[in-house]
Amino acid sequence: MKSYSFFSIVLLCVFILVIDALAFYWLQSITRLIDSSLISRTIHILFWVFSIGLVVSILILKMRLDSIDPVRRHLWISSFYGLTVASLVPKILFVVVISILYFSNYFFSSTESMVVIALGGIVSGLIPFVVILYGIFKAAYRFKVYHHVISFVALPEAFDGLRIVQISDIHLGNFNYRYAVLERAVEEINRLEPDYVFLTGDLINNYSWELRGWEAVFAKISASKGKISILGNHDYGDYSQWESPEAKEENFAAVKRFYQDTGFQLLMNDAVIVQEDEDALAIIGVENWGAPPFKQYGNLKLATKKIQHIPFKILLSHDPTHWEEVLQNTDIALTLSGHTHGMQAGFQFRKKQWSPIKFKYKHWAGLYNEGEQYLYVNRGLGWLGFPGRIGMRPEITLLELSRSS
């Protein structure tokens, strides 16, 4: 998780207080409509107790961050992240909507008109508050299966109907050892009866201790032909200061060992050839390859060196920006990625979808194709930063490959 400077945190707190001051100004216009001065005064006091308490808590957390046990640090950060979003976004909308209603109404001096404006402001703030709370406490773990059938002319006949389940971006540390929650996802995966299960990176946030106790859960994941995984940008331990290079390497070794212990084959710039009768396909796994500032450990040329003669190839690559290189330099039929989380917020209705993340990533969620080459971007099974999901449920992907004539 990205670390912000103390100055950046101070600017955030100033912004929060400015928004709170504007919100309080309009809140006073509403509380004037309340007959009881005691109720009005109580509302005002509670407003500022929460506001100042949040700002002070954020500053104290930043100042004491280095002394907090790493096991709890990211949970504290995520909790305050969620609290800040749940507080700030509704207030911004409240201020904007009530300001528009107020200044566009030339009859605001009347009590009836002020009541309408007040109700409009309250509703505009209450709805996003409820939506955010739902995203944090309910939607974050409402796993959804996205099912796609993809047809390929080049798919070998023996692999017609191949069932692939893809999961990605689990970020186990944020589950806080609530094994039963993820076991529900495992039950759903097994119900789909996959031939292969592919895990496309970001198993953890940063530390191998996040894996404690999860072996039993991941060992339950069942696939008739195999379970294959790759690494994401969070799996290398690059987002922490380590006591020594050896400590970082030990952390990384534990992550790789977890895959081995749970029956996953970890591909690091490597590939495997799957043989069925006279037909064959290749499954390629590269290390993380992303646009700066993300590090590029991936080496596609090395990964494909021994499978150039295989006509049908599937690539696991965590970051979807890698697909541009795939299109330019390879004939890989299907690339599976994750990384974006769909920003954990967006809008989806039937085949239409939108998220602010589209301004950063050209390919950010779902299925894309250029001719006979396809990319699928998984929306992630866990969360990072904001501890919830709004309109972007955690995903289990089922891909069925079919042979087209």
**In the predicted structure, residue 138 carries a pLDDT above the cut 60:** yes
Whether 2 shows a pLDDT value over 60: the answer reads no
Beta bridge partners, 336, equal 316, 376
Say what the pLDDT of residue 77 is: 84
Q: Judge whether 234 and 205 are in contact, CB under 8 Å.
A: yes
Burial of 338 (0-12, 13-18, 19+ CB in 10 A): buried
Residue with tokens 């039993």: 216
- The residue ranking higher by pLDDT, 2 or 31, is 31
Token pair belonging to 206: 């940063």
Q: Is the pLDDT at 244 greater than 70, yes or no? A: yes
**250: pLDDT confidence band, cut at 50, 70 and 90?**
very high
Cβ–Cβ under 8 Å, residues 124 and 94: yes
pLDDT tens sequence across 282-329: 999 999 998 888 889 999 999 999 999 999 999 999 999 999 999 999
Q: What is the mean pLDDT of residues 137-153?
A: 97
Burial of 359 (0-12, 13-18, 19+ CB in 10 A): exposed
Domain with residues 143-403, CATH architecture: 4-Layer Sandwich (3.60)
Token duo for residue 337: 């990625």
Token pair of 315 as six digits: 């690539």
Distance CA 189, CA 197 (A): 8
Query: Do 174 and 382 contact (CB within 8 A), yes or no?
Result: yes
State the DSSP code for 115.
Answer: H
Length of the chain: 405
What pLDDT does residue 76 have?
82
pLDDT at residue 111 greater than cutoff 70: no
Q: How far, in Å, CA of 183 to CA of 220, rounded? A: 9
With cut-offs at 50, 70 and 90, classify the pLDDT of residue 107: very low
Can the peptide bond before residue 156 be classed as cis, meaning omega within 30 degrees of 0? no
pLDDT, the chain, mean: 92
SS3 state at 228: strand
- In what helix (H) or strand (E) does residue 30 lie, and over which residues does it extend? helix 6-31
Tell me, what's the pLDDT at 34? Answer: 86
pLDDT at 342 over 80: yes
Nearest to 345 by CA among 111, 104, 190, 140: 140
Give long-range contacts, CB 8 A cutoff, 24+ apart: 118-121.
118/29, 118/30, 118/33, 121/26, 121/30, 121/94, 121/97
Say whether pLDDT at 57 is over 50.
yes
- Give the Cα separation of 29 and 300 in Å (integer): 62
Residues of the chain with CATH 3.60.21.10: 143-403
User: Can you say whether residue 182 is alpha, beta or left, with left for phi > 0 and alpha for psi between -120 and 50 degrees?
Assistant: alpha
Q: Are 345 and 355 in contact (CB under 8 A)?
A: yes
Assess contact for 125 and 90: CB atoms under 8 A.
Answer: yes
The H-assigned helical ranges of 104-240 are 111-137, 179-191, 215-219
Q: What is the mean pLDDT of residues 107-123?
A: 69
Return the pLDDT at 112.
61
- pLDDT tens string 364-385: 999 999 999 999 999 999 999 8
- The arithmetic mean of pLDDT across residues 185-201, rounded, is 98
